């Protein structure tokens, strides 16, 4: 069972990490890059397959050399057997289509062809949700999206998934698909381990992957466009049909109420508060 | 029923009993799965805590786990005293002889550190057998086939079959109760302990107790400082903290409607404590647990079908006079249960392990320590009402007081006699009356001023870590008559305190007033007190949920 998980590095949008300038533009240099949070759900789904069905998990990304650390983060925080980074200048500034082309070629370039490819549900920066499905299209594979739980029937060569219909948690359907198959894990994805042997395996593999992540370079492969035999005209900025006509910053919402600070230790400062409240208490 | 997952042995709980069983099973090449419900072994466990290694015991914790004392315990107990308190007068006896009797060594421990260390060893050992240790798994009961126990059921896992199930799931064992071996009925079979761990720099510990870094002390307290509730207090030195607690008979707590946290505060604020606690008391954890009284609660046949029960789950906690020995017996019992299974298996009859285990407990002398013949012969008679009354009256009379003064040395020797203390009846005489007289007649006045201000109950609750899950206790009868005692006896509830588990209120219904009790399990420390004193359906929370002790 060989699975590939696709991931992207994104700005860490968590409070205290992210930095914006006065005009509300993201300060990329001051904001750390992390693994796209939704991709961790995809990686957990792949890890579940690894624990329950054995095999091998490859984690793949396209991006600048610094994304090595994003791959390391995935290996350390969830799981990976090996890492692939598709990286050179020709791939830069790609839109989702050019990215999908590159990534699909990366997958086809692997020595062992995967049975499953996992992607997360949209990235925290672009939020298009296109790259996964476009990669599935390039591979010409069936695709199951919004997956919240997953079982593999290796003998029959099938996967059985529960998925949210229209991304809505109130309606869940169970689908079957032949493998190889492209799976988009929903943020609601929950791995299930109901056997003690699976949990023991999980515990051991977690220990191993954390150790492996210390020396992740040993299991990292970096491919440039020549390694993948890709024509620079079809990748990166040149291969991107998307035109960004302009960017409008979202204006800051005006504050609707004014706040007055009251010193709770000073009884006299509470008097105006009481005066304000009295009409409400009286029911006026 | 053949598609269940199967292990040769399943051990439930990774305290000292479970760890000893698992280690010995693994050494015998038995494929062993250990299931622990805490986020980490020790996160659910509380003890006083001194662990003894007895010279007469076939197994000790350091025998099974080399490096235990270096890695997992706090300080060796080199001195042991009992303080008889009457007001601000105190008479102290050195009970070193009792402490050292049959003792290879005794160390103070904090259970989170200790059990967590044990669990890592246990995982390594059992992994080699094809099993291993899993945390955050709540074993809910016994798996039966045609009425026979064949394994366990779990909240987080599918049922698991095994040739032997070792229930080491503690004083509130759901497995022993599922098997019908234990119940929640009689308060007089239990003690309840509450404990505070106070941070203290190692140098300060050394200085205040006048000890070296490789020395430690145990101090016990009895007398009139606990409002007549039967029990006593303790103080143990750890590496960088003190464990201070109180242990009372649960029936006495219930009858007196005592508030356990207030009794602990009585100890913390007594002038005698000032010399050790100083002016910088900083409590880092408040905890509580039930303690079985082996004299009454120890199972004489702790097994059924493929199930064997060890440690607190089997009531194996011995009160040797004022000295409490529990963990050492759990270790011995766990290791013996493993040995019994290995014997039974080698005879081609693994399912007779329970029978062999029972025999080993008797042959190795464990059962006689837990249920001493001398107590059955003498102590029980002392608990009969008229005799206790007479004894109290004599002790309090001028004759008794004269006797105490005349025989000071004799009394100290009596405290140090393992045989005599094993006969002590569970009455007010040994816990309250006699120590008070000793304090009054022989004691010296303590003039130190104690400045300790123990935290309020809501701060104690607030300082604990909880991962709140679904309510795990159901109040079956919410009338005050049936369940009102829980309001006071629960260590995280109190009368007129709204932030605890139990509270009582008067409710107007259809023209008459009812006195009712309500329950919120959020601050629960999972001691099990309310299961005994109130009418509840009591279960453990799901794996990884509920309170998480960091000291224990």
Task: Residue A196: list chain B partners with CB under 8 A.
Answer: 5, 7, 33, 35, 134, 137, 157, 160
Same domain for B355 and B403: no
pLDDT at residue B287 in the model? 98
Same domain for B384 and B236: yes
Where in the sequence is the domain holding A36, given as residue range(s)? Answer: 2-239
Domain membership flag for residue A74: yes
pLDDT at residue B486 in the model? 97
The answer to whether A203 contacts chain B (CB < 8 Å) is yes
For B477-495, write each residue's pLDDT tens digit: 999 999 999 999 999 999 9
Domain membership flag for residue B552: no
Instruction: Give B34 to chain A, closest Cα distance, Å.
Output: 10
Task: Residue B34: list chain A partners with CB under 8 A.
Answer: none
Same domain for B408 and B276: yes
Instruction: Place B404 in a pLDDT band, splitting at 50, 70 and 90.
Output: confident
**Element at B459 (helix H, strand E):** helix B457-462
The answer to whether A197 contacts chain B (CB < 8 Å) is yes
Domain membership flag for residue A253: no
Same domain for B434 and B414: yes
Domain membership flag for residue B498: yes
- Helix axes of B327-346 and B16-27: crossing angle, nearest 10 degrees: 30
Average pLDDT, chain A: 92
The answer to whether A30 contacts chain B (CB < 8 Å) is no
* Domain count within chain B: 3
Residues in chain A: 284
* Contact yes or no for B134 and A199 at CB 8 A: yes
* Contact yes or no for B157 and A196 at CB 8 A: yes
Instruction: Place B414 in a pLDDT band, splitting at 50, 70 and 90.
Output: confident
Q: Could you tell me the two tokens for B448? A: 């130190």
Domain membership flag for residue A254: no
Q: Flag the least confident range among A10-24, A197-211, A252-266, B24-38.
A: A252-266
Provide the percentage of residues in chain B whose pLDDT is more than 70. Answer: 98
Domain membership flag for residue A261: no
CATH for B519: 3.30.70
Alpha helices by DSSP H, A15-158: 37-53, 68-77, 96-108, 131-139
For residues B248-259, average pLDDT: 96
CATH for A22: 3.40.50.620
Task: Residue B137: list chain A partners with CB under 8 A.
Answer: 196, 199
* Contact yes or no for A199 and B160 at CB 8 A: no
Domain membership flag for residue A184: yes
Is 60 exceeded by the pLDDT of residue B93? yes
Q: Please, how many CA atoms are within 13 Å of residue B161, restricted to the half-sphere of its CB?
A: 11
Mutation pick from A51, A190, A196, A204 vs chain B, by most beta carbons of B within 10 Å, is: A196
Where in the sequence is the domain holding B412, given as residue range(s)? Answer: 75-107+184-292+377-454
The answer to whether A89 contacts chain B (CB < 8 Å) is no
Nearest CA in chain B to A195: B157
Q: For residues A163 and A145, is the Cβ–Cβ distance under 8 A?
A: yes
Domain membership flag for residue B482: yes
For B326-378, write each residue's pLDDT tens digit: 999 999 999 999 999 999 999 999 999 999 999 999 999 999 999 988 777 77
Task: Residue A197: list chain B partners with CB under 8 A.
Answer: 5
pLDDT at residue B127 in the model? 97
Query: Which residue, of B308, B343, B370, is where some domain finishes?
Result: B370
For residues B237-255, average pLDDT: 97
Same domain for B397 and B273: yes
Domain membership flag for residue B465: no
Domain membership flag for residue B210: yes
Domain membership flag for residue B176: yes
Is 60 exceeded by the pLDDT of residue B3? yes
Same domain for B142 and B32: yes
* Contact yes or no for B134 and A196 at CB 8 A: yes
For residues B3-31, average pLDDT: 97
Distance (Å, whole) CA B326 – CA B52: 8
Q: Could you tell me the two tokens for A184? A: 């988009």
Q: For residues B34 and B137, is the Cβ–Cβ distance under 8 A?
A: no
Task: Residue A193: list chain B partners with CB under 8 A.
Answer: 157
User: Between A and B, how many residue pairs show a Cβ–Cβ distance under 8 A?
Assistant: 28
- The neighbouring-strand residues paired with B512 are B509
Domain membership flag for residue A221: yes
pLDDT at residue B1 in the model? 47
- What's the gap between Cα A146 and its chain centre? 13
Whole-complex ipTM: 0.89
DSSP 8-state code for residue B540: P
Instruction: Give B157 to chain A, closest Cα distance, Å.
Output: 4
The answer to whether A200 contacts chain B (CB < 8 Å) is yes
- Residue B414 has a CB neighbour count (10 Å cut-off) of 15
Q: For residues B43 and B229, is the Cβ–Cβ distance under 8 A?
A: no
For residues A146-172, average pLDDT: 92
CATH for B442: 3.30.9
Domain membership flag for residue B115: yes
Same domain for B138 and B41: yes
Task: Residue A208: list chain B partners with CB under 8 A.
Answer: none
- The neighbouring-strand residues paired with B538 are B473
Same domain for B426 and B333: no
pLDDT at residue B383 in the model? 74
For residues B2-14, average pLDDT: 94
* Contact yes or no for B158 and A195 at CB 8 A: yes
Domain membership flag for residue A252: no
* Contact yes or no for A203 and B7 at CB 8 A: no
- Residue A71 has a CB neighbour count (10 Å cut-off) of 25
pLDDT at residue A191 in the model? 96
* Among candidates A194, A203, A204 on the partner chain, residue whose Cβ is nearest the Cβ of B158: A194
Distance (Å, whole) CA A281 – CA A163: 52
Is 80 exceeded by the pLDDT of residue B386? no
- The pairing of strands B5-12 and B79-86 is unpaired
Nearest CA in chain A to B156: A194
Distance (Å, whole) CA A155 – CA A151: 12
* Contact yes or no for A195 and B157 at CB 8 A: yes
Distance (Å, whole) CA B32 – CA B40: 18
Same domain for B513 and B394: no
Provide the percentage of residues in chain B whose pLDDT is more than 90. Answer: 85
Domain membership flag for residue A263: no
* Among candidates A196, A203, A204 on the partner chain, residue whose Cβ is nearest the Cβ of B5: A196
* Domain count within chain A: 1
Is 80 exceeded by the pLDDT of residue B249? yes
pLDDT at residue B526 in the model? 98
pLDDT at residue A283 in the model? 64
Instruction: Give B6 to chain A, closest Cα distance, Å.
Output: 9
* Contact yes or no for A194 and B156 at CB 8 A: yes
Q: Flag the least confident range among A262-276, B38-52, B117-131, B467-481.
A: A262-276
Q: For residues A200 and A207, is the Cβ–Cβ distance under 8 A?
A: no
Same domain for B309 and B338: yes
Same domain for B512 and B446: no
Is 80 exceeded by the pLDDT of residue A167? no
CATH for B10: 3.50.50.60
Same domain for B212 and B177: no
Is 70 exceeded by the pLDDT of residue A284? no
């Amino acid at each position: 069972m060989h699975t590939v998980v696709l991931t992207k590095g994104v700005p860490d949008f968590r409070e205290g990490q992210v930095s914006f300038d006065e005009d509300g533009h993201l300060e990329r240099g001051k904001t750390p890059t992390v693994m796209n949070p939704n991709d961790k759900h995809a990686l957990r789904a792949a890890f579940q397959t690894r624990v329950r069905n054995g095999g091998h998990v490859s984690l793949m990304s396209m991006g600048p050399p610094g994304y090595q650390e994003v791959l390391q983060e995935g290996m350390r925080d969830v799981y990976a057997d090996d890492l692939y980074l598709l990286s050179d200048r020709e791939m830069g500034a790609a839109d989702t289509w050019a990215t999908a082309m590159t990534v699909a070629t990366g997958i086809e370039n692997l020595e062992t062809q995967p049975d499953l490819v996992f992607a997360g549900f949209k990235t925290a920066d672009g939020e298009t949700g296109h790259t996964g499905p476009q990669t599935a299209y390039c591979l010409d594979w069936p695709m199951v999206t919004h997956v919240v739980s997953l079982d593999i029937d290796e003998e029959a060569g099938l996967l059985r998934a529960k998925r949210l219909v229209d991304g809505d948690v109130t309606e869940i359907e169970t689908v079957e698909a032949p493998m190889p198959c492209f799976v988009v894990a929903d943020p609601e994805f929950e791995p299930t381990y109901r056997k003690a042997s699976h949990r023991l395996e999980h515990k051991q593999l977690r220990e191993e992957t954390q150790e492996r992540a210390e020396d992740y370079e040993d299991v990292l492969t970096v491919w440039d466009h020549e390694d993948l035999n890709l024509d620079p005209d079809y990748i990166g900025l040149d291969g991107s049909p998307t035109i960004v006509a302009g960017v409008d910053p979202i204006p800051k919402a005006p504050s609707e109420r004014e706040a007055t600070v009251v010193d709770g230790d000073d009884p006299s400062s509470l008097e105006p508060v009481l005066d304000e409240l009295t009409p409400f208490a009286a029911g006026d | 029923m053949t598609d269940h997952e199967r292990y040769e042995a399943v051990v439930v709980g990774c305290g000292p009993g479970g760890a000893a069983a698992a280690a010995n099973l693994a050494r015998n090449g038995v494929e062993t799965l250990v299931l622990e419900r805490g986020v980490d072994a020790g996160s659910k466990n509380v003890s006083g805590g001194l662990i003894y290694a007895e010279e007469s015991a076939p197994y000790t914790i350091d025998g099974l786990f080399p490096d235990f004392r270096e890695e997992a315990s706090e300080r060796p107990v080199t001195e042991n005293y009992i303080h008889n308190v009457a007001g601000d007068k105190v008479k102290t006896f050195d009970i070193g002889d009792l402490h050292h009797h049959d003792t290879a060594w005794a160390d103070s421990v904090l259970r989170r550190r200790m059990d967590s260390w044990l669990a890592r060893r246990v995982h390594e050992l059992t992994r080699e057998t094809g099993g291993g240790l899993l945390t955050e798994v709540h074993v809910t009961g016994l798996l039966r086939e045609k009425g026979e126990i064949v394994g366990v059921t779990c909240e987080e896992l599918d049922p698991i079959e095994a040739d032997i199930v070792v229930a080491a799931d503690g004083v509130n064992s759901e497995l022993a109760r599922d098997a019908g071996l234990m119940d929640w009925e009689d308060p007089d079979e239990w003690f309840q302990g509450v404990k505070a761990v106070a941070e203290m720099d190692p140098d300060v510990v050394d200085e205040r107790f006048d000890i070296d870094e490789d020395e430690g002390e145990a101090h016990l307290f009895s007398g009139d400082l606990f409002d007549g509730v039967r029990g006593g207090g303790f103080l143990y030195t750890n590496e960088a903290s003190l464990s201070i607690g109180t242990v009372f008979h649960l029936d006495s707590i219930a009858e007196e409607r005592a508030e356990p946290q207030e009794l602990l505060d009585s100890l913390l604020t007594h002038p005698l404590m000032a010399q050790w606690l100083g002016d910088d008391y900083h409590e880092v954890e408040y905890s509580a647990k039930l303690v079985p009284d082996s004299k009454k609660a120890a199972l004489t046949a702790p097994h059924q079908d493929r199930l064997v029960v060890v440690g607190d789950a089997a009531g194996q906690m011995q009160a040797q006079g004022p000295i409490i020995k529990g963990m050492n017996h759990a270790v011995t019992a766990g290791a013996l249960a493993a040995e019994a299974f290995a014997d039974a298996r080698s005879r081609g009859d693994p399912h007779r392990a329970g029978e062999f285990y029972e025999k080993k407990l008797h042959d190795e002398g464990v059962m006689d320590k837990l249920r001493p013949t001398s107590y059955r012969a003498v102590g029980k008679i002392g608990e009969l009402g008229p005799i206790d009354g007479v004894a109290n009256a004599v002790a309090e009379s001028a004759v008794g007081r004269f006797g105490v003064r005349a025989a000071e040395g004799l009394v100290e020797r009596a405290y140090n006699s393992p045989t005599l203390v094993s006969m002590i009846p569970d009455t007010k005489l040994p816990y309250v009356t006699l120590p008070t007289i000793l304090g009054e007649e022989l004691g010296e006045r303590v003039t130190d001023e104690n400045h300790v201000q123990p935290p309020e109950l809501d701060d104690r609750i607030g300082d604990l870590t909880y991962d709140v899950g679904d309510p795990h206790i159901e109040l079956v009868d919410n009338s005050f008559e049936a369940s009102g005692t829980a309001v006071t006896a629960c260590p995280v509830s109190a009368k007129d305190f709204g932030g605890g588990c139990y509270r009582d209120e008067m409710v107007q219904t259809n023209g008459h007033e009812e006195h009712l009790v309500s329950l919120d399990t959020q601050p629960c420390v999972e001691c099990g007190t309310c299961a005994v004193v109130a009418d509840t359906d009591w279960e453990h929370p799901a794996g990884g949920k509920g309170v998480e002790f960091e000291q224990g």
